[in-house]
Chain A
Amino acid sequence: MRKQINQRQKAKILAAVVTVVLAAVTVCGILFTEAAMETDFLSRNQAPSAVHIFGTDWMGRDMLFRTLAGLSLSIRIGLLTAAISGAAALLIGIGAAVLGRKADASISWCIDLVMGIPHILLVMLISIACGRGFTGVVAGVALTHWPSLARVIRGEVLQLRQAPYILVAEKLGVSKMRISAVHMFPHLLPQFLTGTILLFPHAILHEASVTFLGFGLSSEQPAIGVILSESMQYLTTGKWWLALFPGLSLVLVVLLFAMLGERVRKLLDPASVHE
């Protein structure tokens, strides 16, 4: 009995630590945005040292500050897009399951459509439609990540609709809107929350990828994608630190988000609550 409680507590502590670390990175990034822009032409292209842990780039900017600012931007975009995508998935998923056959068929068709175009290509297209830049990336990533979660929620609602208490509510004449909001939503919450948190890693990775290709954030912004695409020009001359550290930090942040999602899933999922 004691061990079970410990397992849960461990998961809670880990989730809390991860959240704090991510929040710290975000705040640091915002605070260091100024420092990331600071150029110092006396110390250009320096390899990592005690003064500049991540080295400096061709304009003498400190790579640690640039990386932090980039990560912070990535996390904020990730939060925004995952929230939009998650909300869209919830509405569309419930809509598909509740609004009747025709709505279901057309929504399934839309999901197939979005899943048929390779993700990165679709993000590119939407970003172009919005004129690239910040709006382009946010719209592109937010509008492409809902289908898989929407499918999960649709399946869940379809099962739930046959549950006795929902049938009773229907017989009692409770409206569809009210049933979805009051009776179904609380049941979907765990799935929805974990699904949304697990959208972050994808959202962040796609944001960085699209920016890297030149369809996302403009080159003045301190984004990880921009840093890495700039570093491509200096690879052959052996400036490995320009690519290694920013990329590694991005991987770490994404891993932390994935871990957070796993922990939350374990805490909320009834099947593994007592593990």
Chain B
Amino acid sequence: MKPQVIEFKVGSPLHHPPSPAPAPNVVTDSAQLNDAIMARFHSRIYTRGEVVLPAVPSLVDYYVQGLSEIFVAIGKPFTAEELENLKNILQPQLEDGFRASPHSNVIFRYEPSETGGITYNVSNVIASMTDQYKIWVDTREPPLFGSHPDTKLLEVAKSLHHLPQINILDIGAGTGRNTLPLARMGYSVDALEVTPVFAEQIEAAATAEQLPIRVYNADILGPLVRMAPAYYSLAVAAEVVSHFRDADQLRLLLAKMCDGLHSGGLFLFNTFMAIDGYEPDQLTREMSEVNWSTIFTREDIAYAMNDLPLELIEEMPVYEYEKVNLPAEAWPPTGWFDNWANGRDLFWLPEQKTPMELRWLLCRRL
């Protein structure tokens, strides 16, 4: 039997009218359409966030570029005009923050706006060196600056043994790494320390051991902070000048030493110096301050010493000198000392040498 083929006819055969030619502005390309979907959809993605930027004025363009990449990534790209506007807002905040302290940050906060874009605001947070060290005290294991006194300092102190009475001034005494050993050796030491917790620690140790130490919680650069005039045989400022802002502050320190030292008295300090022939640019100078490694050139030092009754009598790299002379168990003084003293907190060159180093400078008061 032949199967019966039944044709079902439903209505008229399918009628395919010719497709109208696509209008030139109708998009059918799926990749393009997907982009279009996302472009519309971005207004539904709400992004908020905070970017903390160290206040370095020279980095303003770098920061604007970085932020603009964030805006692209979150689908809210800024126009050239908006970026220019951002720069104009960011710049004074970076400058104000940096002027107040190299430890300041600028905070960039953004959040969704009513219209699907973002709104942002920029502010700065000023933090002082004292604030920074307070954090060290709260979060790090002592000794914060090492357990041994600087060997160069002990050598210089010994060179004064012909004097009947040796009064020593320790500027930026920290936790007393130099103050306490010097006092134990019999010198009378005045310790100046700006961070209150450190000053209290020295005071407590001095009292407990009945050492000839007077502690002053003060900033050597403060206008009302004056030393007994023509009184000290030796003043030391170890790891202090690396916190300074400029050569004017160094000059003020040296001038005050001229007032406090008696004729023939010695001033030992260490500072980062650019190697001869290397001239740090503005960005490098700002970044050196931010990284606790303020860099000075030979011209800066000469400016700071100009016309003062002070002569530079000796100079050497701190790292090499202390490495040779400190007992083996005391080396390195801290986990950070090697990188810091060799300029690597500023320039990350792990295999090469940076164009700066921490140096001891020894001066004599005329």
The reply to whether chain A is a binding partner of chain B is no
> Which of A's residues lie within 8 Å of B, judged by CB?
none
> Which of B's residues lie within 8 Å of A, judged by CB?
none
